[in-house]
């Protein structure tokens, strides 16, 4: 698959979602050096700006090869980075993707994630990577109540628990899977090639 180009800018009532730039590395470092943000992630806290830069560049490369997309989230006309969101793990020839997001703790509880996530879901079901996604998946660690509540609020269905599906930070973790099929199309069914 190739990239959807150019990188889609998304505006909501309050927010502008735009590509992450290398110049965001200080703010990405601040985001991912906060253990509250990474409590439920398969990532260790960042301690160096180079780690933040590598993370930004990894996501840019995923976009360039059509394998994912990550937006920087900001209030319109304002510089501070509120967080990031996007899609990874495109599957089924890009008809299914996994959503991810994180907001800096100073901005939690202000509806930023809800607004950003709703906007990227709309983008994914309308446009997507060369064609609209038909299904969005989220996998979250048990105990991540904020994320579970956000997903249910924007319409995801709780599909249950995958036992020991995650392996990081020296332990196995049960993951809860949520899915959101698009309303249009055939709900994620793929043409069968036989
Ligand atoms: C999950 C996260 C993105 C939510 O961001 P946010 O901007 O605070 O979310 P919103 O303000 O849009 O709130 C969304 C819903 O979650 C609820 N919520 C927020 N924090 C909560 C918490 N600590 N516990 C329970 N519910 C919570 C809100 O009340 C809201 O639901 P409601 O409108 O029904 O009351 C944020 O907590 C975060 O960045 N967490 C760390 C990173 C992470 O775990 N990402 C997800 C990985 S799967």
Rounded distance from Cα 6 to ligand 1 centre (Å): 30
CB contact at 8 A, 141 and 38: no
Domain range list for the chain: 10-181
C-alpha pair distances (Å), 110 with each of 25, 45, 75, 99, 104: 24, 24, 12, 20, 11
Rounded distance from Cα 146 to ligand 1 centre (Å): 4
Q: What is the pLDDT of residues 115-137, one digit of tens each?
A: 999 999 999 999 998 889 999 99
Q: What is the pLDDT of residues 25-44, one digit of tens each?
A: 999 999 999 999 999 998 99
Residues having CB within 6 Å of any atom of ligand 1: 37, 40, 101-103, 108-114, 140, 144-147, 149-150, 153
C-alpha pair distances (Å), 114 with each of 15, 85, 131: 11, 11, 24
Q: Evaluate if residue 54 carries a pLDDT over 90.
A: yes
Nearest-angstrom CA–CA distance, 64 and 4: 8
Does the pTM surpass 0.85? The reply is yes
Query: How confident is the model over 69-86, as a mean pLDDT?
Result: 98
- pLDDT band at residue 4, thresholds of 50, 70 and 90? low
**For residue 89, what are its two tokens?**
């793990």
**For residue 22, what are its two tokens?**
């290398």
Q: Alpha-carbon torsion 57, 58, 59, 63, what sign?
A: positive
Nearest-angstrom CA–CA distance, 50 and 150: 31
Q: Encode burial over 91-120: b for 16+ CB neighbours within 10 A, e otherwise.
A: eeebbbbbbbbbbbeebeeeebbebbbbbb
DSSP annotation of 128 reads -
Nearest-angstrom CA–CA distance, 17 and 155: 21
Pocket test for ligand 1, best of 104, 108, 117 (most atoms within 8 A of CB): 108
Say what the pLDDT of residue 91 is. 79
Say what the pLDDT of residue 92 is. 75
Query: How confident is the model over 53-78, as a mean pLDDT?
Result: 96
CATH superfamily of 10-181: Gcn5-related N-acetyltransferase (GNAT) (3.40.630.30)
């Amino acid at each position: 698959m190739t990239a959807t180009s150019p990188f889609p800018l998304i505006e909501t009532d309050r927010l502008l979602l735009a590509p992450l730039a290398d110049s965001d590395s200080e703010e990405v470092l601040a985001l991912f050096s906060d253990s509250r943000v990474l409590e439920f992630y398969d990532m260790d806290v960042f301690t160096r700006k180079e780690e933040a830069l590598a993370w930004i560049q990894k996501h840019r490369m995923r976009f360039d090869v059509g394998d994912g997309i990550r937006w920087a989230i900001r209030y319109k006309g304002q510089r501070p980075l509120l967080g990031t969101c996007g899609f990874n793990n495109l599957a089924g020839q890009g008809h299914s993707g996994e959503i991810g997001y994180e907001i800096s703790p100073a901005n939690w509880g202000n509806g930023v994630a809800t607004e950003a996530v709703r906007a990227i879901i709309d983008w994914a079901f309308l446009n997507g990577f060369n064609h609209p996604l038909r299904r969005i998946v989220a996998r979250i660690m048990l105990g991540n109540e904020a994320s579970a509540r956000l997903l249910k609020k924007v319409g995801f269905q709780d599909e249950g628990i995958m036992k020991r599906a995650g392996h990081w930070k020296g332990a196995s973790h049960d993951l809860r899977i949520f899915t959101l099929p698009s309303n249009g199309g055939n709900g994620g069914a793929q043409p069968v090639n036989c």
